[in-house]
């Protein structure tokens, strides 16, 4: 293994490696030239050989899952926490104490305050000090602070798709009104590996259902937190997520009121200005995005339009929920935090 730009290889741990985001990380990190995965955890599969659990995952011969408690024996530079919310909050501390950095793929380190976390997740945050130093891991908007952060809260899948489209338009003051309506469709892997009545194949196959519509979904809080940083007026999110019969992929259509005389071309120009230099966000001018464009990648595809009669702005956004919406974005954050070129291992 050749060091890159005089940097030494880094040592990585994955907590929650039997889940969907953990599996995706294992696949990406295998292609990353300057890392060594030191441990993979599972409580239910502790002791199981990784190859027995993922027979199709090449390159991890000799690896076994260990329980989180056993990770104290390992010295690593960064840990990906791919755990349910509530779990990551408490597991960040032991790794930080060993000078490891954290990328939490769950929601525990995405909020600016314990009060907002409690409001949306109905839990007292066990580590408010760590929460206050954590950084929201949307690299296109927070790149410089991510580089020096000890803890990054990797954004949620729905918020990633929505914020990438909205933030440039908010920053340039093209949006008005008091609400944005977010219609999102997600593949079923977004719900994690444990099946439930609503994610059962028989329920999802050849079906389309909305769920937690309005302001019931927890991602509303995360979206509003970040939106507030780029607008000088209150903008509420009306969110209508849907489950669609896809394994992976996420599509958001966001509508909002625009100021008089704002044109579709102006919206596209603002998006181009924000993202033309970005490797993973692409603004489309002639056709609309589709979910397949982003499958198994860190890419986000955006388009914008205007309905002049009603002064309605529309942004279309396609990502992979496990890609830019989770594991691939987590690796982008890791690259920034460890000083690797941002695109390392992410070219798909």
Ligand X SMILES: NC(=O)c1ccc[n+]([C@@H]2O[C@H](COP(=O)([O-])OP(=O)(O)OC[C@H]3O[C@@H](n4cnc5c(N)ncnc54)[C@H](OP(=O)(O)O)[C@@H]3O)[C@@H](O)[C@H]2O)c1
Query: Any contact of residue 331 with ligand X (CB under 6 A)?
Result: no
Give the residue among 210, 208, 259, 213 at the shortest CA–CA distance from 238.
213
Query: Any contact of residue 241 with ligand X (CB under 6 A)?
Result: no
Query: Any contact of residue 252 with ligand X (CB under 6 A)?
Result: no
| CB neighbourhood size of 51 (10 A) | 16
- Identify the residue among 114, 289, 313, 325 touching ligand X (CB under 6 A): 325
Backbone angles phi, psi at 183, to 5 degrees: -105, 115
- Identify the residue among 190, 313, 323, 345 touching ligand X (CB under 6 A): 190
Beta bridge partners of 319: 250
**CB of 324: closest distance to ligand X in angstroms?**
10
Nearer residue to ligand X within complex by CB, 26 or 304: 26
Element (H, E) at 300: strand 300-307
Helix, strand, coil abundance in the chain, percent, nearest 5:
35, 25, 40
Q: In sequence order, what E strands does 53-174 have?
A: 65-66, 78-81, 101-104, 135-136, 151-153
* Cβ burial, residue 8 (10 Å; 0-12/13-18/19+): exposed
Nearer residue to ligand X within complex by CB, 284 or 348: 348
Query: Any contact of residue 341 with ligand X (CB under 6 A)?
Result: no
**CB of 24: closest distance to ligand X in angstroms?**
8
Residue 317 in 3-state DSSP?
Answer: strand
**CB of 29: closest distance to ligand X in angstroms?**
15
Catalytic-labelled residue, pool 100, 157, 267, 331? 157
Tokens matching residue 180: 């944005």
Binding residues for ligand X, total number by CB under 6 A? 30
Tokens matching residue 28: 């990406």
Please tell me the distance from the alpha carbon of residue 27 to that of residue 338, in angstroms, as a whole number: 19
157 is catalytic: yes
**CB of 103: closest distance to ligand X in angstroms?**
11
- Identify the residue among 26, 28, 50, 68 touching ligand X (CB under 6 A): 68
Is-contact 194 249, C-beta < 8 A?
Answer: no
- Identify the residue among 1, 5, 44, 205 touching ligand X (CB under 6 A): 44
Query: Any contact of residue 126 with ligand X (CB under 6 A)?
Result: no
Query: Any contact of residue 85 with ligand X (CB under 6 A)?
Result: yes
Active site positions, annotated: 157
Residues interacting with ligand X, by CB under 6 A?
16-22, 42-45, 68, 82-85, 87, 105-106, 156-157, 189-190, 192-194, 321-322, 325-326
């Amino acid at each position: 293994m050749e060091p890159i730009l005089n940097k030494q290889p880094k040592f990585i741990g994955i907590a929650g490696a039997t889940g969907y985001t953990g599996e995706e990380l294992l696949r990406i990190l295998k292609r990353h030239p300057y890392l060594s995965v030191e441990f993979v955890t599972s409580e239910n599969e502790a002791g199981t050989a990784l190859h027995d659990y993922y027979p199709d995952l090449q390159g991890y011969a000799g690896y076994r899952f260990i329980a989180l408690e056993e990770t104290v024996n390992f010295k690593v530079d960064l840990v990906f926490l791919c755990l349910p919310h509530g779990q990551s909050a408490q597991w960040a501390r032991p790794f930080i104490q060993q000078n490891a950095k954290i990328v939490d793929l769950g929601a525990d380190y995405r909020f600016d305050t314990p009060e907002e976390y409690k409001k949306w997740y109905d839990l007292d945050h066990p580590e408010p000090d760590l929460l206050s130093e954590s950084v929201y891991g949307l690299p296109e908007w927070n790149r410089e602070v991510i580089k020096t952060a000890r803890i990054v809260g990797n954004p949620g899948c729905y918020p990633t798709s929505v914020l990438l489209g909205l933030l440039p338009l908010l920053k340039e003051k093209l949006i008005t009104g008091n609400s944005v309506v977010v219609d999102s469709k997600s593949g079923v892997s977004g719900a994690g590996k444990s099946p439930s009545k609503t994610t059962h194949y028989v329920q999802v196959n050849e079906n389309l259902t909305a769920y937690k519509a309005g302001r019931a979904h927890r991602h509303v809080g995360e979206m509003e937190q970040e939106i507030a940083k780029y607008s000088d007026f209150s903008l509420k999110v009306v969110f209508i997520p849907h489950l669609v019969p896809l394994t992976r992929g996420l599509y958001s259509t966001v509508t909002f009121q625009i100021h008089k005389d704002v044109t579709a071309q102006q919206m596209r120009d603002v998006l181009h200005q924000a993202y033309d230099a970005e490797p993973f966000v692409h603004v489309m001018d002639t056709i609309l995005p589709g979910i397949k464009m982003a499958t198994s990648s860190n890419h986000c595809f955006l388009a914008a339009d205007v309905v002049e009669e009603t002064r309605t702005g529309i942004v279309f956004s396609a990502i992979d929920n496990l890609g830019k919406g989770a594991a691939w974005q987590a690796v982008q954050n890791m690259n920034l935090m460890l000083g690797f070129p941002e695109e390392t291992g992410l070219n798909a």
